[in-house]
Structure 1
Amino acid sequence: MRHLAIAGAGLRRFGDALDRQPAEAHAEGPSRRDWVEQASLGLLATYAMGSKGLAAAPDAPDWVHGLRILNAEAYNPPFYPLYRYDPERAVKIAVELNANAFRYPAASYYAYFPTKTRYPIHPDLAAADPMRATVDLCHKAGVKAIAYIPINHPFMQIESKNPDFPNWVKRDSSGVPMTTAHYGFGRFYEGCLNSPLRQQIFDLVREVLTKYDFDVLYFDGPYQGMDNARMFCHCRYCRAAYRSARGKEIPRQDNSSSFEQTLEYTLWMRDEVVIATLRDVREMIRRTRDVPVLYNDTGLVGKQQWRGRAFPVVDGFMFEAAETPQQKLFNLQLGKSTGKTIWTYLGHHTQYNREHMKDQSVRGWYSYPIDGDELLLDGAIAVAAGAGMVYWSLSRLWPVRDTPLHSSSGRYVRQIFDFAGQHETMYRAARSAPRAGVLVGTQSIDWYSGETFVPAAYSNCFHGAYGLLKDTGHEAEPFLDFTLTSQILSKYALVWVPNAPCLSDAQCEHLTRFVEAGGTLIATHLTSVADEFGRRREQLGLSRLLGVRFKTAEPIERPDLYLRIPGQPQLIPQDPQIMPFETMDGVTVLAETWDAARERNLGPAIVARSHGKGRVLYIGSSLEAVYLETRLTPLREYFAGLLEPILGQSRRYRILGDHPGLMAHFRAAPNALYLHLLADAGGRVHKAHARETFLPISDLKVGIRMPPGRRAAEIRLLRAGVAPGFKVRQDWVELTVPRVLIHEAIEVRLA
């Protein structure tokens, strides 16, 4: 625990130091051993603070979890470029949609209230205070008021003559200001959190908190750049702060900087500047007027996102969007695995695919109800996951005359919000019940750089593992690698580690103890080939546990490879990228790699061994990624056979037959069970963010297992509003769902 205390104290010291003039550089910085220890353990300390310590965030009030929010986005009309916002009309739209919360932008490119800070106020605002009017109208209508507050989101227009801006900007090593695009309305200077802008942000937050009766504060940030987020800032404030903290100059991100120098600076900026800023804001709120605090953590699984790991210091966070319905459910479950309140956007969030656009910041149409039937599936996934919903955005419905219900988007939002409001038990009491955990390799995303490693496709590994578990009828939960502890692992009967090259020694030890205690581990491909910062090991960190040794430093790639199962004539497509390995004593070979073109056996492909009370399976390729990319039936059937002996006895539901596009999600409350059936079935659209249509799935035969000592008192189909007949067979209830169009939810009330 000594190292946790050191890292936590470092965060507190730096938070205090930012409020003072930067000190002169120390004559001698910390030793390399000191900073490596802090780098390795500082993130664990930040995560630990989410459950205890000064920065711990208490449980959010129950009502925060299931909010139905209309978002007034201010980076576009009716706030920007021209100010045309009307508080009365906005709150009226929220009420007509059955929203129970409204998000007002305290600031975006401009402030939208009469701030006393140096943040620029929209020139059309004059002496009006639309923020106060909006908050008052919300509370009069019984609607919660949420403040949107950016923390260093780019806002400084490069054409501006504002004398403060040059002092606040992020600069490269030559002193040139860094700029970014955003929503197609021009370019903006990126700001620096070590500059005096930080104090202006704190002052603005304090104004919003103390002068307005908001129920929740939502922060977009902290940012340390947008287009140039991964570029180090060399402004005079950053140089002075880093000299004070480490006694060193900022690395130049070229051949003159070593990996250790880059790593040290990266972890300092992440933990002691960006995360510390959000922590200090949260502590100020707690001391002043304690309200729930959430922030935008869409970068949680993005490469080296400065704020990605800040969630322990707040009450919750938002995943904005995803590319597919299953990815959205994955994201929301990943968020839920942290124990925090999770929100998500509904709608296309300013996007269309804009493939032919030269300027990708020009995102199409903000003032048009662009969403089609896919909005209903978006909402159904949020309902199934138990996430708060934020419709993007007021701007879409602003041009619709008389009532937002005159547009299909408005009617769909009302339908989603009505259903969620009628069934709040699913939010307040129901929880997911996973028996399998899927490790999400954020450390590998941040740091791994193998010769055959394709960063853009790496997420296929953990998405594929999750998809295989869902498609074989097993409840799974993704969880973050840096949160991995024995306590986290104890939730699961099976842990799948899909191609996670970067694992620390401590994480390898936790996985070993999990297996020794009786758990089952599936590890694939390059898992544990490097430490948590991507530094290659001579052999796998889990080599002894898995019972394998690599024969080559990098995977090999060949066409026409297959899995050959001993005693079975059928070949199954193998990943064309494999890691040749040899086995140790006590290992059973379950499958070999067969090179059909050369008619050669390339050695073991899938092996198993017992360890302690548990069992380990190692797969020397990323078959889960292949499954995501192909959805090959033989792969699914093979994995179904592997998983059934491990998870079959804890299966909570079963669906007979093969139904492409159907995704089930199970949740349990103390006195009720819920099985959500999500049907992404219909015309295939091969362009992202294009409008979609859906077809029903008919006559689904479903079984739901009853908890020990309980029986089904009543079953209802919540979308259809009917009570279907059902049969009891041992500890299962069996029923037929006549029709699923996008979404149906089965509620089993228990006696």
Structure 2
Amino acid sequence: MKRQKQNKEIMGHSFNLKMDLKNCLVLLVVIILLSATSTHCQPVLIQDKGDKYSWIQTARVFLLDAYQPPFAPELEYDAHALVDAMVDMNANVLRFGTMGKYATIQGIRFSVHPDQGKRDLLFETIKLCKEKGIKVIPYISTGHKLAWSMVTEDYPEYGQKSTPGGLPYRSHMYVGEDHGTVCWMTPYKEAFLDYVEHVVRDYDIDGIYFDAWFPHYFWKGKQVCYCEGCRQGFKRATGLQIPYHEKEEDYTGKENETIKKYHEWYNEEYITEVVQPVREMVKKYKDIPLISNINNPQKMAALDPRIVNAMDAFLYERGHTILERAEGVSVPRSLGLHILPYIGVYHNWPRLAFNGYNYQQQIFTNLMFGGGSIIAQPTGYIENSEHRKFIKYPFHIIQQNEEKLKDLKNYPNIGVVWADNSSEEHQKDSWNEGMTDARSSSLGAFSACLYGHIQVSSVSEFILDKPDLLAEYPVLYLANIPYISEERVRNIKEYVENGGCIVASYQTTLFDSKGKLQNYFGLEELLKVKPVKPKGELAEIINSYTAMVGGPNDLYLQITDEGTKAFKDISDSRLFPVWFYQPFEAMEGADILMNIVTGPDRKAILPGVVKSNYGKGQVIYCASALESLYNSGGQDIVQELILKIIEVVNKKPAPYTLTAPASLIANLTITDNRLVMHLTNWTGNKFEHPWRNEYYLAPVEDVSLQIQIPQGKKVKQVSTMVESDYNQRISGQTLELFFPRVESYQAIVIELE
């Protein structure tokens, strides 16, 4: 039953003074944060949580949201049928919606389904799950839009006022009634906090999931609310009124600045009054992981670090390629953060399941890079068992090997820094090869290594704030990253000075924090190069050797005499393609390994690749955006050069050598006395477009693998997670293995002593 509102009138100057002081403090924090952003002061750092809750790495999750059947429009939920399907398919965790259109639990100030009566769906589900050893993670509706009837009839005080005196934004989601938006500056906040406390205190749960921490979830347009809480709170904090016009074009520049300040004020209130108190509340009652949705690495990079610090693990709501999945799982794991990516995506037929090998191989890819797996829409399996095998088999492999998979981390070797921060000035476009920017470059560097069977991790940019984590990687790859802050530049210098090695390309650190081109590299001291603006004859040559479709035309990288010492197996007559490139001059201490030459006469017009030393470390800079070219076209000659450049600068021997086609992707994981080498086959449409179902998977034959055993260790036992014929022998510190055939997945477990 809806709780009656408490109307409290508190009079007196002391209350007003208290509120004024609070809002002044909020405004002061906002100003400090803005100042830190603009002057590059020390950022809020991502906290080390000690890699707790390792069970998430082998979590086999069914996701049951309450936005569509069996919870809406009619209530058809059968907990027994769900749990029976989970047991049959080897799932061990259920993420259960405590609210969707309506609440599924009792005792909170939100409306339940009209047909629910006194049923508490979470309670009855937990009872059945615990009998089968299944963990339960409740979904908490966190600022998400709710049933239209709830926010306009039952609890209208929760609704966002999208216009002065108006209603929430109304929109449709899935089958059933429409939804309306809510606002945190209304009584919704108090109801939400009571709701969270009730769930964590009163139910036997193993984690808690908060959807996405977006302060203006599903708000449209200017993302502004005109409720009393927003209007009065913002005015007390800033002395300003929230402007309103019916038409976008009627807002003045000053009014847009006011709205920007409103968003800053709102976000600060949201984090300090909701996000951070929620963590304290949960931990007060239970030592369980707080989990939230960051969708993909882009949003992780853009998220307020205080939100990242308030969580213990994250979810990806993504359905991209196997390559992007491998990359995306690797990013949070580089920080010791746990990740649960979707398997598949939501489709429009919740009563059907028609997935193929794509689901199976997505699970194996998550596993091999350290992530758990969430089946995005499992309701179709309850009545349709035909396609269960594509989930059941990989979940069985994980179930049988949980202890062997426990506490594994990706073996640190080549760390490609994930990036997506290109301004319009930094982006270059081509008809044939698409966009060249930070995203295509960092993905291209990662894929060149992955498909070339070089041990590689896609690492978060936050690792640049953590010298101890940075030091674990022999090579750091900065692929066309336009801007790196001064603090991070200092950390990178220290990393190289102490023996780390850098590969950097194209316009890495050539832009400022606002996306404007500079006349120097931020990493100039390491790279030992200076950008030049071509003039005279050089400018004419560059203009001439340009293609109408975008990019250079008939320009190549060719090895120099100095380069033959570094690239020992490359002929000095061999040519490699040049893609978008940055003209530069080499400074003192930089050895020119390759030049950019013209096609007809091999005339060197600019240096192309240089190598230099800094402290105990080495640095290679390549003027051309080769990684982006490889990401677009997958040219073997481009991949070859990228890997040769890494080989030149990397001082440490490769942890393994794999002879197999590019479609067999590999990742080596490690814990104190165990190595696990994962091999996942994707001979289906390897460069598939998202959400494509695959029903045939060709095996890979004649796979040869040599794994280097760490110094001071010896092999105690070798086993495989998938039963298979194979040959093995140990030669010194090298374990040699040969597999006549790898079907969908294989993992070699090496126990050390």
Q: Tell me the TM-score normalised to structure 2 length.
A: 0.84
Give the counterpart of 1:91 among 72, 79, 83: 83
534-543 vs 373-382, greater mean Cα deviation? 534-543
Please give the secondary structure, in 1, of the residue aligned with 2:392: helix
Give the counterpart of 1:490 among 455, 471, 475: 471
User: For residues 125 and 26 of structure 2, what CA distance do their matches in structure 1 show?
Assistant: 54
CA contact (8 A) 1:552 1:579 kept: no
Residue segments in structure 2 that go unaligned for 5+ positions in a row: 1-14, 430-434, 562-571
1:66 equivalent to 2:58? Answer yes
1:428 match: 406
1:221 match: 212
1:403 match: none
2:744 match: 742
Please give the secondary structure, in 1, of the residue aligned with 2:117: coil
User: For residues 650 and 463 of structure 2, what CA distance do their matches in structure 1 show?
Assistant: 24
Please give the secondary structure, in 2, of the residue aligned with 1:83: coil
1:558 match: 551
325-334 vs 474-483, greater mean Cα deviation? 474-483
1:413 equivalent to 2:388? Answer no
1:528 match: 509
Give the counterpart of 1:710 among 713, 725, 728: 713
Please give the secondary structure, in 2, of the residue aligned with 1:370: coil
User: For residues 436 and 607 of structure 2, what CA distance do their matches in structure 1 show?
Assistant: 28
2:451 match: 471
Amino acid at match of 1:563: L
Please give the secondary structure, in 2, of the residue aligned with 1:162: helix
Deviation at 1:748, TM superposition (A): 2.1
Give the counterpart of 1:452 among 413, 427, 449: 427
Deviation at 1:566, TM superposition (A): 2.5
1:667 equivalent to 2:658? Answer no
2:649 match: 646
1:569 equivalent to 2:578? Answer no
Superposed CA offset, 1:650-698 (max 9, x none): 3111012x51312111012333321111111135675431221210110
Superposed CA offset, 1:567-589 (max 9, x none): 522221222x2222233222222
1:637 equivalent to 2:640? Answer yes
Deviation at 1:703, TM superposition (A): 0.6
Q: Cα–Cα, structure 1 residues 31 and 154, in superposed 2: closer, same or farther, change >3 Å?
A: closer
Please give the secondary structure, in 2, of the residue aligned with 1:298: coil
Give the counterpart of 1:125 among 96, 116, 120: 116
Matches within 5 A, 1:186-205: 188-205=179-196
User: For residues 226 and 182 of structure 2, what CA distance do their matches in structure 1 show?
Assistant: 10
Give the counterpart of 2:364 among 357, 369, 380: 380
Deviation at 1:169, TM superposition (A): 1.5
Matches within 5 A, 1:204-603: 204-226=195-217, 228=219, 231-236=222-227, 237-245=229-237, 256=253, 270=267, 273-274=270-271, 277-302=274-299, 310-346=307-343, 348-350=344-346, 363-400=347-384, 406-408=385-387, 410-441=388-419, 444=421, 448-450=423-425, 452=427, 458-485=438-465, 486-534=467-515, 537-552=518-533, 557-560=550-553, 561-566=555-560, 568-575=572-579, 577-596=580-599, 601-603=604-606
Deviation at 1:471, TM superposition (A): 3.1
CA contact (8 A) 1:106 1:149 kept: yes
User: For residues 194 and 581 of structure 2, what CA distance do their matches in structure 1 show?
Assistant: 55
140-149 vs 177-186, greater mean Cα deviation? 177-186
Amino acid at match of 1:566: T
Amino acid at match of 1:70: F
1:37 match: 35
User: For residues 43 and 60 of structure 2, what CA distance do their matches in structure 1 show?
Assistant: 33
User: For residues 711 and 389 of structure 2, what CA distance do their matches in structure 1 show?
Assistant: 42
User: For residues 276 and 436 of structure 1, what CA distance do their matches in structure 2 show?
Assistant: 41
Deviation at 1:300, TM superposition (A): 3.8
Bigger radius of gyration: 2
User: For residues 180 and 646 of structure 1, what CA distance do their matches in structure 2 show?
Assistant: 55
421-430 vs 167-176, greater mean Cα deviation? 167-176
Amino acid at match of 1:125: Q
Amino acid at match of 2:45: Y
Q: Cα–Cα, structure 1 residues 208 and 651, in superposed 2: closer, same or farther, change >3 Å?
A: same
Please give the secondary structure, in 2, of the residue aligned with 1:102: strand
Please give the secondary structure, in 1, of the residue aligned with 2:415: strand
Q: Cα–Cα, structure 1 residues 303 and 211, in superposed 2: closer, same or farther, change >3 Å?
A: closer
Deviation at 1:109, TM superposition (A): 1.8
CA contact (8 A) 2:152 2:159 kept: no
CA contact (8 A) 1:71 1:390 kept: yes
CA contact (8 A) 2:418 2:458 kept: yes
Deviation at 1:710, TM superposition (A): 2.5
Deviation at 1:488, TM superposition (A): 2.8
Deviation at 1:532, TM superposition (A): 4.1
Q: Tell me the TM-score normalised to structure 1 length.
A: 0.84
User: For residues 324 and 546 of structure 1, what CA distance do their matches in structure 2 show?
Assistant: 34
User: For residues 31 and 719 of structure 1, what CA distance do their matches in structure 2 show?
Assistant: 55
Q: Cα–Cα, structure 1 residues 512 and 671, in superposed 2: closer, same or farther, change >3 Å?
A: closer
Please give the secondary structure, in 2, of the residue aligned with 1:89: helix
CA contact (8 A) 2:702 2:740 kept: yes
CA contact (8 A) 1:441 1:502 kept: no
Deviation at 1:496, TM superposition (A): 1.0
CA contact (8 A) 1:24 1:244 kept: no
Please give the secondary structure, in 2, of the residue aligned with 1:103: strand
1:153 equivalent to 2:144? Answer yes
1:608 equivalent to 2:611? Answer yes
Superposed CA offset, 1:39-80 (max 9, x none): 4699966434x24xxxxx676344344222222122221112
476-485 vs 737-746, greater mean Cα deviation? 476-485
Give the counterpart of 1:111 among 86, 103, 106: 103
